[in-house]
Structure 1
Amino acid sequence: MAENFDIVIIGSGPGGYVAAIRAAQLGKKTAIVERENLGGICLNWGCIPTKALLRSAEVYHNMKNAAAYGLKADNVGYDAAKVVERSRKVAAQLSNGVKFLMKKHKITVYDGVAKLAGKGKVAVTKDGKPVAELAAPAIILATGARARALPGLVPDGKLVWTYREAMVPPALPKSLLVIGSGAIGIEFASFYRQFGAEVTVVEVMDRVLPVEDAEISAFAKKAFEKQGMKILTSATVKALKKGTDSVTATIEAGGKSSDVTVERVILAVGIVGNVENLGLEGTKVKVEKTHVVTDEWGATGEPGLYAIGDLTGPPWLAHKAMHEGVICVEKIAGVKGVHPMNKENIPGCTYCLPQVASVGLTEAAAKAKGHEVKVGRFPFIGNGKAIALGEPEGLVKTVFDAKTGELLGAHMIGAEVTELIQGYTIARTLETTEAELMATVFPHPTLSEMMHESVLDAYGRALHI
């Protein structure tokens, strides 16, 4: 006999567990099914543990440069196993935190694999054996995504890694090829480079971090190359030849082919949605390029069936999934005043060295949409706090509509910009113009002053350059 709920959620990543909590807050009897670890990929194999690794790399970098601060740090070294161990402990702590939240909100958690079993029903199995049958008028798919493999570029877990293997290396490789320069690829490239690996990055597009503003991408490329990375753009990896403990990659760029031999390869060429074995056959759910198609509320073509997060397509970001989960549940519950999400107001952050963050339209995209623009820039070298921190390399760029003063986009590279970007995100959400931003008092001395100066610069009023 089926166990009845108001809402059943399949997948406990950021989208799924947040949706479950919001549903419980709204008085809905809620169940969540997870086949692996509570918290999903983000908490266990993505956002959180990678930031722990990158923090270790950042501290190591600062230790190596202690002399620049008048400090002494002799015989600086690292223990790769302990670096990884710390990252796994952080992930475990967060996963246990989700477990506590499920208990706190009286959400029923099922450990197993979920599959649709007819209208409004979900069958849960564990190791192929039945665990439970759940029934609910609303079912939310939040099964996430996994690393994409390309023909001839297939991970084997030993020599050719996805993010999973890259996060728990038995030893840090001395040389590394990263295929793909999006956020995942560049973060791993940055991590391994800081620990001394010879890193080559191959990107099929004409620039690194291709979704970012072109000016920021160019700044990032120079910074990475200054650190010793080799960056190959407009390039493709045609083949991987595996040796006993190395891989030789054939790379084609500019009409020429060359071979590069490295100890390990990381594939970071995108993701595909986890749509298999969900029981979508026979439903009205539409799948395009491995992602479930939904409306602005998360509803699929099948009545009572919803989907959120990475499963539904870009941007593939945990905070997008969380917000989608809240919107979806509130719409199901009939909460008044729910607004669909404006994806242009979702900030993107890359935690490499230097950090990169952005929100809204790039300068090129704004012009392509027909906007006449005013662009402001402010360099980190002009900011007292940045100089005091020993972080003078960076740039803040703002793009405004010249006629209305609307903040169309903001793009940043440098220390702590992943924290700063939220100021511009709030500004866009509130539909703030240049006038309000100029009239806002920014504290001194802070990095945030550069955000003010960039706005002023767009209108010829910058004070410190």
Structure 2
Amino acid sequence: MVVGELAQEKDVVILGGGPAGYTAAIRAAQSGREVLLIEKDQLGGTCLNKGCIPSKATAEAAKQYKHMDHLKNMGFEIGSGHFDFGRFKEYRDGKVDQLRKGVESLCKANKIEVMFGEAVFLSDDRIGIENGHQFDVVRFNHALISVGASGGKKAGLIGASDLFRFSTLPEELILAGSSYIVLEAAFAYHSFGVKTTIINEGETFGLDETIEKELLRQLKKAKIPVHMGAKAIKIDWNGDRTLCRFVNAKGESMELASSHIYMDEQYNGNTSALGLERIGIELDENQFIKVDEWGRTSLSNIYAAGDVTGAPFSAVKAIKQGKAAVEAMMGNEHAAPADFYYLPTIIHSQPPVASVGMTEEVARSENLDYRAGTYVLGGNGYAALTEKKDGLVKVLFEEGTDRLLGIHIIGEGAIDLIQTGVVGLEMAARDEDFLYPNYAHPSLAESLLEACEDAVGKAIHQAPKNKKAEKVKM
């Protein structure tokens, strides 16, 4: 090993080039600070290289494949409609490379120095970077740790990082769990002809009850087998086949065989090799770094952001947390904390699901008086002409204050439309704030207006109910 001289001093050193890390690096550089970004693998992190982008590329391909019949109805000559997974793989991997190069260009444009290698803290103001036989030491004023988290997949199973990076399509796929990963993979691979099955230990997927019911209907419509309330899941092997044994909700013992099985993983922070015990950074029992609302650790000059700080595991959280940490690090007295109370849930299923705020079950459990309004997308003009009529929009308003409590959507456009709900909740919007504005026509956004009008008993494009919308009293 060649030990380099202490030739560098940086104001800010960032460990990890994922969404939290590179975002924080750019924000720090915008403040005129000298920034060193250390990455042991590839810029963009798990999200860009193994998770978000490959999975959403797969979901998009499945969506377009499913939509081919509609294109034929509109007059397009599609031909055989064969899906070439090999060409898709080239497309998927090409997009990942393209976006990674975009991150590299952003770092270069912001004059951020990037070093590749394994980082370890030598003290609370010095860090070592090992890359092959080279070992460099850098002194810093501030550091941000954004090295992510890793799942503990069982031997013989595929992990989340493998699930959307197949080189060839599997013939069969069992998905055990209730996460968005399970649902996205189930709909996508089923569209490609993969025999797909879901096994869920829980009774629900954690969504609002109305959305949950529609989601289960869509799974049944797609003929994707779903075993809810499964217990005692055990994995075994029989030659090249993986066996999944469990007890179903009826108490019956079942055995399913598949070439590939994925199970939702338990995550731990990627902190074991950083030397944090040497400098006294506090960790929890799962090796996640303990931080406050601004990402501060137990040491005043060291911050952390992203998955390494624990759940929720989300690029949205990572990006916001990275920005908040840098603002606090730079001494901004007005730096806003990273608040994830209204963090949206999104699932790129078919149709997609998006949710933010309080579910009806939570409203009941908190003894709130509320009004619920729903609108089925089948009545929306734009949904009709695009033949994407599956799904609904649901809104909840508090009785008395008229304050928005939550918005839940399953259907085309859900993931873009949910941002309206996020902004509304952050602004403590009331029903009139949604009822008064003009909505583009024809558009899927009108479905939100219809749901809000239903909540006050004034829906236009759905048949009158026996009773006007009434508040739900506890």
> Which residue is equivalent to 1:415?
412
Q: Is 1:233–2:228 an aligned residue pair? A: yes
Identity score, percent: 30
Q: CA RMSD in A?
A: 1.7
Gaps of 5+ in 1: none
Which of the numbers 346, 349, 366 marks the counterpart of 1:349?
346
The change in CA–CA distance for 1:368 and 1:148 in structure 2 (over 3 A counts) is: farther
Question: What's the CA shift for 1:26?
Answer: 1.0
Query: What is the SS of the residue equivalent to 2:273?
Result: coil
> Which residue is equivalent to 2:149?
145
Which of the numbers 296, 304, 326 marks the counterpart of 2:301?
304
Query: What is the SS of the residue equivalent to 2:265?
Result: coil
Question: What's the CA shift for 1:57?
Answer: 1.2
Which of the numbers 252, 256, 260 marks the counterpart of 1:256?
252
Partner AA of 2:185 in structure 1: F
> Which residue is equivalent to 2:423?
426
> Which residue is equivalent to 2:140?
136
| Range 338-347 or range 136-145, more displaced | 338-347
Query: What is the SS of the residue equivalent to 1:115?
Result: strand
Partner AA of 1:214 in structure 2: E
Question: What's the CA shift for 1:238?
Answer: 2.6
> Which residue is equivalent to 2:468?
none
Question: What's the CA shift for 1:444?
Answer: 0.6
Which of the numbers 64, 85, 108 marks the counterpart of 1:80?
85
The change in CA–CA distance for 1:101 and 1:145 in structure 2 (over 3 A counts) is: same
> Which residue is equivalent to 1:23?
28
The change in CA–CA distance for 1:271 and 1:187 in structure 2 (over 3 A counts) is: farther
- C-alpha offsets along residues 110-142 of structure 1, whole Å, 9 cap, x if unaligned? 101111111122111123x34321222211111
> Which residue is equivalent to 1:34?
39
User: What is the rounded CA distance, in whole Å, between the counterparts of 1:408 and 1:341 in structure 2?
Assistant: 20
Question: What's the CA shift for 1:64?
Answer: 4.7
The change in CA–CA distance for 1:196 and 1:332 in structure 2 (over 3 A counts) is: same
Which of the numbers 140, 159, 165 marks the counterpart of 1:162?
159
- C-alpha offsets along residues 55-85 of structure 1, whole Å, 9 cap, x if unaligned? 1111111125544445443322111121122
Gaps of 5+ in 2: 1-5, 463-474
User: What is the rounded CA distance, in whole Å, between the counterparts of 1:416 and 1:362 in structure 2?
Assistant: 20
Partner AA of 2:422 in structure 1: T
User: What is the rounded CA distance, in whole Å, between the counterparts of 1:71 and 1:80 in structure 2?
Assistant: 22
- C-alpha offsets along residues 219-278 of structure 1, whole Å, 9 cap, x if unaligned? 111101210111111114632222343211112223322100112112233533222211
User: What is the rounded CA distance, in whole Å, between the counterparts of 2:231 and 2:188 in structure 1?
Assistant: 23
Given that 2:176 and 2:199 are in contact with CA atoms closer than 8 Å, whether structure 1 keeps it comes out as yes
User: What is the rounded CA distance, in whole Å, between the counterparts of 1:155 and 1:189 in structure 2?
Assistant: 22
Given that 1:344 and 1:359 are in contact with CA atoms closer than 8 Å, whether structure 2 keeps it comes out as no
Given that 2:382 and 2:443 are in contact with CA atoms closer than 8 Å, whether structure 1 keeps it comes out as yes
TM-score (norm: length of structure 2): 0.92
TM-score (norm: length of structure 1): 0.94
User: What is the rounded CA distance, in whole Å, between the counterparts of 2:368 and 2:139 in structure 1?
Assistant: 50
> Which residue is equivalent to 1:332?
329
Partner AA of 2:32 in structure 1: G
Given that 1:155 and 1:162 are in contact with CA atoms closer than 8 Å, whether structure 2 keeps it comes out as no
Given that 2:19 and 2:47 are in contact with CA atoms closer than 8 Å, whether structure 1 keeps it comes out as yes
> Which residue is equivalent to 2:120?
115
Query: What is the SS of the residue equivalent to 1:344?
Result: coil
Partner AA of 2:274 in structure 1: L
Query: What is the SS of the residue equivalent to 1:248?
Result: strand
Given that 1:286 and 1:300 are in contact with CA atoms closer than 8 Å, whether structure 2 keeps it comes out as no
| Range 29-38 or range 363-372, more displaced | 363-372
Given that 2:44 and 2:100 are in contact with CA atoms closer than 8 Å, whether structure 1 keeps it comes out as yes
Query: What is the SS of the residue equivalent to 1:343?
Result: coil
Larger radius of gyration: 2
User: What is the rounded CA distance, in whole Å, between the counterparts of 1:114 and 1:234 in structure 2?
Assistant: 43
> Which residue is equivalent to 1:216?
211
Question: What's the CA shift for 1:394?
Answer: 0.6
Which of the numbers 249, 263, 267 marks the counterpart of 1:267?
263
Which of the numbers 437, 452, 468 marks the counterpart of 1:455?
452
User: What is the rounded CA distance, in whole Å, between the counterparts of 1:147 and 1:284 in structure 2?
Assistant: 22
Partner AA of 2:271 in structure 1: V
> Which residue is equivalent to 1:199?
196
User: What is the rounded CA distance, in whole Å, between the counterparts of 2:330 and 2:15 in structure 1?
Assistant: 18
The change in CA–CA distance for 1:7 and 1:235 in structure 2 (over 3 A counts) is: same
The change in CA–CA distance for 1:186 and 1:148 in structure 2 (over 3 A counts) is: farther
Which of the numbers 429, 432, 440 marks the counterpart of 1:435?
432
Alignment of 1:34-113 (within 5 A): 34-64=39-69, 66-113=71-118
User: What is the rounded CA distance, in whole Å, between the counterparts of 1:77 and 1:192 in structure 2?
Assistant: 15
Given that 1:235 and 1:252 are in contact with CA atoms closer than 8 Å, whether structure 2 keeps it comes out as yes
The change in CA–CA distance for 1:213 and 1:169 in structure 2 (over 3 A counts) is: same
Query: What is the SS of the residue equivalent to 1:5?
Result: strand
Question: What's the CA shift for 1:408?
Answer: 1.5
Given that 1:53 and 1:84 are in contact with CA atoms closer than 8 Å, whether structure 2 keeps it comes out as no
